Amino acid sequence: MLKKHLIAATAVLALGALALTGCAGGGQGGSNGSANSSLTIAKPDGSAVLATQINNPFISTGSGQSLGYNRMIFEPLAMVNPVGKNETTPWLASKVQWNKDFTQLTVTPRSGVKWSDGKPFTADDIVFTYNLIKNNPALDLAGLKLASVAKDGGNVVLKFTESKFVKQGDVLQVQIVPEHQWKNIKDPTKDAVKDAVGTGPYTISTFSSQGVVLKARTDYWGGKVPVAQLKYLEYNDNTGLLRGLQNGETDWAQIFITDYKKNYVAKDKEHNVFWGANILSPDMITVNTTKAPFDNVAFRKAVNMVVDRKAQAEKARSNAGPELKNVTGIPQPTGDQYIADKYKDSEFTIDVAGAKKVLTDAGYTWKGGALMDPSGKAVSFTLQNPQGWNDYVTGIQLIATQVKKTLGADVKVATPDADTWTSNIATGNFDAALHWTGSGSNPWHIYDDTMNGAYLEQESGGQVADNFGRYNNPEATKLLKEYAAASDEATRKSLLDQIQTIFVDDVPAIPIGTHPQLGEYNTRKFTGWPSESNQYATADPTQPWAVQVLMQLKPVK
């Protein structure tokens, strides 16, 4: 499966209007680092990524963002953990505080921080970066909707046109850029920023079509950097990267591995680690609710009742994450606290007889074993996912076989190239597909991605940015908006309970499995990595917290 669809959306936090203070942590982790130590980090996206050096953190397809090395150069105000305790770790900020309704953020800049060119980091850099986003809509990739950014004494105050409760991570994890360099950049949406000046622990040593080498700074504000050199490589595909992980050529990566215990962990049981962090993002059968057969809720319910989710976890995903069990689609145990009381013990079961009754009651019939809709037309649909996304392709094959066998519908499988598939999903040129949802430290993104009619109102050029199934329920849209703007936990719980009820009753999408954030690494040279027993971050080297992981590492003695 391609890397692009494994990355979950930026995490968000639900801590209420609390002040978060303290050291960013991890600076002391590398106090014994070797001057000759190195780690190799890799992705399977092909050599084209390295054809042009693009370090601009606002260009998501550039080499820096795609490979992830920008995370070691440009740093955010704070890290928001999508797993563990969902804690916020101040980073370039020494303190961040939200007001009660999350429309205002007060930031205290960390003192003693220097840019890699030696100039001091100040509140002005924070103001400049967020105003850059405010004044250039093309840079507002996360939809921050800033109203104003200004200094208030030694602090910076950011005001928003709407509550940022569900998007705290999007706000806090913006990569801060230096005003003294960027004020001279004519077009920040296109400039490659070859001279990358950041506050992070690394600078670029070399860039070529063979890879990128970063060298550690000796004056990093967070303390001595535990790894002297980072090497970033690109492989042509997952197979090549897996081989690199197996033979020790690569130390840190994020790919799906079929039968990871046999094909990776067993190659060096003592050191090789595969961890699928169970974030709040399920995989769904995204169904086109505007056309037959999924425009009929009875058929959506019936398919939901016969899908084999255990097979999805075991056969399609090689147990990379736990089986999805709760009818709300919320992954567990990560999301246990958010499941409505009435659904706490409601788990998916395969119920073929119940599914057939739902269909019969809705006017469906069978002719020679084939399912016929209420108008007498044979029921058929196509499941599509990109070729090469092996886990998803296996997943849709399993679904097709199961639905044919149990309900008698004619189900086909198509595997277009990734670009065609992406266009098909955005334009509604599909019947059904496996797709992930956004994630955060509460389930709002799960339901926003599958139920929010606001995306339909924002359709442009025939494409939508989310809610690809084009589910249109004004009540669901209203509840999602109210949840995002709510200022107290009791109100949020009530709204989320109602949202879950609509989701369970109307089946706008069909939850199929968990969508863990994957990571592979070895402990031959360093310890201190995040893991199932130490969930201070996920192990994906392209995420905002990759620098936090790096600074937690300790050389093996």
3-state secondary structure of 205: strand
pLDDT of residue 14 exceeding 90, the answer is no
* Residue 493: per-residue pLDDT: 96
Task: Write the pLDDT tens digit of every residue in 160-188.
Answer: 999 999 999 999 999 999 999 999 999 99
Residues in the chain: 557
Residues 518-533: what's their mean pLDDT? 97
Give one word for 512, left, alpha or beta, with left for phi > 0 and alpha for psi -120 to 50: alpha
Task: Write the pLDDT tens digit of every residue in 351-403.
Answer: 999 999 999 999 999 999 999 999 999 999 999 999 888 899 999 999 999 99
* Residue 19: per-residue pLDDT: 42
Task: Write the pLDDT tens digit of every residue in 399-419.
Answer: 999 999 999 999 999 999 988
In sequence order, the 6+-apart residues with CB closer than 8 A to the CB of 360 are none
Q: Is the dihedral of CA 161, 164, 166, 168 positive or negative?
A: positive
Query: Under a CB-based contact definition with an 8 Å cutoff, are residues 407 and 356 in contact?
Result: yes
Q: Which residues pair with 9 in a beta bridge?
A: none
Residue 195: band (very low, low, confident or very high) from pLDDT cuts 50, 70, 90: very high
Strands, E assignment, 138-210: 146-152, 155-160, 202-208
Q: Where are the alpha helices (DSSP H) in 136-237?
A: 168-172, 179-182
Q: From 305, 278, 303, select the one nearest 469 (Cα to Cα).
A: 303
Q: What angle do CA 169, 107, 480 make, to 5 degrees?
A: 35
- Environment class of 532 (CB within 10 Å of its CB; exposed 0-12, middle 13-18, buried 19+): exposed
Task: Name which of 35-39, 363-367, 418-422 the model is least confident about.
Answer: 35-39
Q: How many CB atoms lie within 10 A of CB 331?
A: 28
pLDDT of residue 136 exceeding 80, the answer is yes
Q: Which residues pair with 93 in a beta bridge?
A: 109
Q: Which residues pair with 436 in a beta bridge?
A: 283
- Taking 3-state DSSP, the helix, strand and coil percentages for the chain, each rounded to the nearest 5, stand at 30, 20, 45
3-state secondary structure of 177: coil
Q: How many CB atoms lie within 10 A of CB 334?
A: 24
Distance between CA atoms of 438 and 166, rounded to whole angstroms? Answer: 11
Residue that has been written with the tokens 């399912």 in this structure: 371
Average pLDDT, the chain: 92
Distance between CA atoms of 111 and 188, rounded to whole angstroms? Answer: 27
Residues 229-250: what's their mean pLDDT? 95
CA 345 vs CA 21, 188, 339, 340, 532: distances in Å:
38, 51, 9, 10, 25
Query: Under a CB-based contact definition with an 8 Å cutoff, are residues 233 and 297 in contact?
Result: no
pLDDT of residue 241 exceeding 80, the answer is yes
Q: What angle do CA 509, 512, 518 make, to 5 degrees?
A: 120
Residue 342: band (very low, low, confident or very high) from pLDDT cuts 50, 70, 90: very high
Residue 535: band (very low, low, confident or very high) from pLDDT cuts 50, 70, 90: very high
Query: Under a CB-based contact definition with an 8 Å cutoff, are residues 280 and 334 in contact?
Result: yes
Torsion angle of the four alpha carbons 71, 76, 79, 80, in this order, in degrees rounded to the nearest 10: -110
Query: Under a CB-based contact definition with an 8 Å cutoff, are residues 514 and 337 in contact?
Result: no
Distance between CA atoms of 176 and 154, rounded to whole angstroms? Answer: 17
Buried b (16+ CB within 10 A) or exposed e, 83-112: beebbbbbbbbbbbbbeebbbbbbbbbbee
Buried b (16+ CB within 10 A) or exposed e, 41-51: bbbbbeeebbe
Task: Write the pLDDT tens digit of every residue in 71-126.
Answer: 999 999 999 999 988 899 999 999 999 999 999 999 999 999 999 999 999 999 99
Residue 557: band (very low, low, confident or very high) from pLDDT cuts 50, 70, 90: confident
Buried b (16+ CB within 10 A) or exposed e, 403-429: bbebbbbebeebbeeeeebeebbbebe
Q: From 156, 164, 145, select the one nearest 15 (Cα to Cα).
A: 164
3-state secondary structure of 4: helix
Residues 339-349: what's their mean pLDDT? 97
Distance between CA atoms of 41 and 231, rounded to whole angstroms? Answer: 6
Q: From 431, 425, 434, 507, select the one nearest 465 (Cα to Cα).
A: 425
Residue 10: band (very low, low, confident or very high) from pLDDT cuts 50, 70, 90: very low
* Residue 388: per-residue pLDDT: 83
pLDDT of residue 67 exceeding 70, the answer is yes
Residues 296-315: what's their mean pLDDT? 97
Task: Write the pLDDT tens digit of every residue in 438-496.
Answer: 888 789 999 999 999 999 999 989 999 999 999 999 999 999 999 999 988 999 999 99
* Residue 34: per-residue pLDDT: 61
* Residue 8: per-residue pLDDT: 31
Task: Name which of 193-197, 217-221, 461-465, 537-541 the model is least confident about.
Answer: 461-465
Distance between CA atoms of 448 and 454, rounded to whole angstroms? Answer: 9
Q: How many CB atoms lie within 10 A of CB 123?
A: 17
Q: pTM for the full model? A: 0.85
